A and B are shown apart, each in its own frame.
Chain A
Amino acid sequence: MLDNIKSGVLVHGLFDEAMFDQLASEAQEIFVLEGRPNFQTSKQSIAAFNKRKITPTLISDNMAGFLFYKKMVTKVCISYQAEDSRAVLSPIGSLILAVLGKKHKVPVYLFPSSEGLNLLGKPSDLCLLNGKRIMPKNFKGYVPLVEWVAKKYITKSE
């Protein structure tokens, strides 16, 4: 079953059209992370790839490591909405991809974000999935929506 899945580009973030055009021209398999809690990043990416007649493969946010371990990632594309001298501010989950990229010697490319994300979500964002309650009331949750990714992990900024 693993043999049916080709290696490809791992995409995570909110991107301008140019990034999708660039990847569409490369004709590689595309992996898109879900982007919990609201799936905003995957929804945007899937729609943009579909517009270019590409059907990406969705994975849960915890499955990226598996793809790296199995040498199924050729490059990583993440977006950023702000930067300072040492780091960029990217969607939550980007740091995992950046560290995995470093460990597995897979290049990590950075693209400007098409829109900004809030810094923090609410615990209730983790409460529902597809409109269905998945957590009982009164649980504590911590929901960062962006994180700093040190520039030492970045191969190239587009």
Chain B
Amino acid sequence: MKSSIKESPLFWPAYLEGATLFVLDETLIPSKFHYVKVRNTKEAVSVIRQMKTRAFGQFLVVLNTFLLEIERAKTFAPKKFLAQIHKTATALNNSRPTFPFSEVTGIVVGWANEALAKGEDAPLYVKKNIFGYLMGIRERRLGRVRQLASILQNDDSILTHCNVSGELAMAAALCKQEGKKIRVFATETRPYLQGGRLTVWELKRLGVDVTLIADNAVGSLMADGLVNKVVVGSDRSCANGDFANKIGTYQIAVLAREFGIPLYVLTQPSNRIPTGADIPIEIRDANELLKFGNRRIVPGKVKGFYPGFDVVCHELITEPIAINVR
């Protein structure tokens, strides 16, 4: 019999209730557990740009934003309805550059076109498809949690970076339920500290042994044999298997290869972009790096440079753990 999976709040960090989308504000964790209310596309773009949600949370926000807009546009004539879907898609596509927003919005636009071509009730058709799609994705992600849990072995010591949207924490908790002893090292993940704030928090909640390290300690850990697997997520994948993830993933992948440590990546394969070199990398405001809590982190005259993501070439991946999101 399959063990039941304990769910992390980061696994499904947004939900729709009536005409409001509730999005878990990940920037406040662990000090506060608060959901931001999103009522329209403008507010959805705002939570994405402010990084109140990220990774899989962005995917949920995109699809649920269409549901909000469909509710508003359900009495529109077909052409006007389609225009509204396009308008929503364009706004979401322009929110941040690295995550493949256009691939997700393109699916919804495709359903809207399909409904109109078939003479279906377009709002109902698109809504049904979104709900079904989300349920399918949820099942596939739960399946991936089980797959990852089967890869993790007793006494494994895992290094992770940033936050894998609940899946690593849930897999580690599942391992624990199954009697496997698993230990996780989580990087801080400067400058937003998602590793410290989110990964450590969710692993602790699920009863998993987790140790926080600074981003610069990964080499020491690997050289000293303190980790034997690396597990990371991915924000965007390419046709050749390259992927983009939170800044810092590339150097972890290079070090893992140097020290013979396998690297597992949770991916959502796509062939829309040929190689990692073609992925647009978001360069964020340097003040997000130079300041913390509105105060400078170091004195003196200094510039800042903050690329939000980096690209890992497929040769450095030991095994992609993929789900189909088409």
11 pairs across A/B with beta carbons < 8 Å?
Answer: A36-B214, A58-B289, A58-B302, A58-B304, A60-B248, A61-B215, A63-B248, A92-B220, A94-B219, A126-B188, A130-B295
B116 contacts A by Cβ under 8 Å: no
Say yes or no: is B136 at the interface (Cβ < 8 Å to chain A).
no
In the complex the two chains form, is B258's CB within 8 Å of A35's CB?
A: no
B204 to chain A, nearest CB (A): 7
Chain B residues with Cβ below 8 Å from A136 are 30-31, 201
Judge whether A103 and B220 touch: CB under 8 Å: no
Instruction: Say whether A140 contacts B220, CB under 8 Å.
Output: no
Of all A-B residue pairs in the complex, the 8 with the closest CB atoms, nearest first, are A62-B248, A65-B251, A93-B216, A95-B219, A65-B250, A61-B216, A62-B215, A60-B190
Interface contact A50-B303, CB-CB below 8 Å: no
Cβ of B10 within 8 Å of any chain A Cβ, yes or no, is no
Q: Which of A34, A57, A63, A134 contacts B303, CB < 8 Å?
A: A57
**Is the pair A139, B212 in contact by a Cβ cutoff of 8 Å?**
yes
Alpha-carbon distance between A100 and B260 when the two chains are bound, in angstroms: 15
Taking A34-B297, A126-B212 as contacts, is the C-beta distance between A63 and B254 under 8 angstroms?
no
For the complex, give the distance between the alpha carbons of A39 and B297 in Å.
8
A1-B283, A5-B305, A130-B292 given as contacts; is B298 within 8 A of A144 (CB)? no
Report A-chain residues with C-beta under 8 Å of the C-beta of B30: 135-136
In the bound complex, do residue B289 and residue A60 qualify as a contact, i.e. CB atoms below 8 Å apart? yes
- The complex places the Cα of A133 from the Cα of B32 at a distance, in Å, of 13
Chain A interface residue bracket vs B:
35 or more
Q: Is A154 an interface residue (CB 8 A)?
A: no
CA distance A1 to B284 in the complex (A): 10
From B189, B221, B248, B292, contact of A65 by CB (8 A): B248
Give the chain A neighbours of B196 by CB distance below 8 A.
126, 134-135
Encode A115-149 as 1/0 by CB contact (under 8 A) with B: 00000000100100111111110011111100110
Additional 18 contacts, C-beta under 8 A, given A103-B254, A130-B295 = A2-B307, A32-B302, A39-B298, A55-B303, A58-B290, A58-B302, A59-B305, A65-B249, A65-B251, A96-B251, A126-B188, A126-B213, A129-B297, A130-B297, A136-B30, A136-B31, A139-B210, A147-B219
Contact of B216 with A33 in the complex, beta carbons under 8 Å:
yes
Residues of A within 8 A of B302 (CB): 32, 46, 55-58
Considering the chains assembled together, what is the distance between the CA atoms of A139 and B210 in angstroms?
8
Are A147 and B220 also in contact (CB < 8 A) when A60-B190, A134-B197 are? yes
**Cβ of A79 < 8 Å from any Cβ of B?**
no
Distance in angstroms between the alpha carbons of A65 and B307 in the assembled complex: 11
User: For A37, what are the chain B residues with a Cβ–Cβ distance below 8 Å?
Assistant: 214
- The answer to whether A36 touches B190, judged by C-beta atoms less than 8 angstroms apart, is yes
Quick one: which of A31, A142, A143, A148 contacts B223, CB cutoff 8 A?
A148
A100 to B212, CA, bound (A): 23
Of A55, A103, A141, chain B has the most CB atoms within 10 Å of the CB of: A141
A106 proximity list for chain B (CB < 8 A):
none
Contacts of A66 in B (CB 8 A): 247, 250, 281, 307, 310
B255 touches A96 (CB 8 A): yes
Residue pair A62, B251 in contact (C-beta under 8 Å): yes
Contact among B200, B201, B219, B305 with A63 in the assembled complex (CB-CB below 8 Å): B305
Shortest distance between the CB of B255 and any CB in chain A (Å): 6
* Chain A residues closer than 8 Å to B311, beta-carbon distance: 69
Which chain B residues border A82 with CB–CB below 8 Å?
none
| Residues in chain B near residue A134, CB distance under 8 A | 193, 196-197
